[in-house]
Amino acid sequence: MGMQQLLLITVGVIIVALMIFTGINLMRSYFETANRDQLISTLYDLGVLAQQHYKKPTVQGGGGSRYTGWTIPRQLRNTQAGTIRATVRPTRIDFTATGKEIGRNNRTVVRITSRVNNNGIRITITN
């Protein structure tokens, strides 16, 4: 009877270890996806703000068919999800969002790029 109990304890420990390992991986995957989704949402909102600036006439405080003069609102530069940078050109804006969770390559953090121009908003998942 002692060998059966030892075998059951060993199998139980292995099963519990596998469940803990799976739970940690699921949690990490959830945090990574949530971080990526937050950055994508913020980039989309910034793209809409930039297009509003582009379409608004200069006499009303807009860009008058130019992105020049537009800046990221201060509260959206550094968020809980990560940091966002923009390169503003007259005909487009290129955004780079760097997250806080490790991304798909398991080495570097989540990274999303976005390009806003008169054709729309294009978001690309880099990591």
Domain coordinates of the chain in residue numbers? 2-125
The pLDDT value recorded for residue 13 is 95
Calculate what percentage of the chain has a pLDDT beyond 70.
99
The pLDDT value recorded for residue 61 is 87
Kindly report the pTM of this predicted structure: 0.84
Average pLDDT of every residue of the chain: 94
DSSP assignment of 43-110: HHHHHHHHHHHHHS-GGGTS-SS--TT----HHHHB-SSEEEEEEE-SSEEEEEEEEEEE-TTSSSEE
With bands split at pLDDT 50, 70 and 90, how would you rate the model's confidence at 2?
Answer: confident
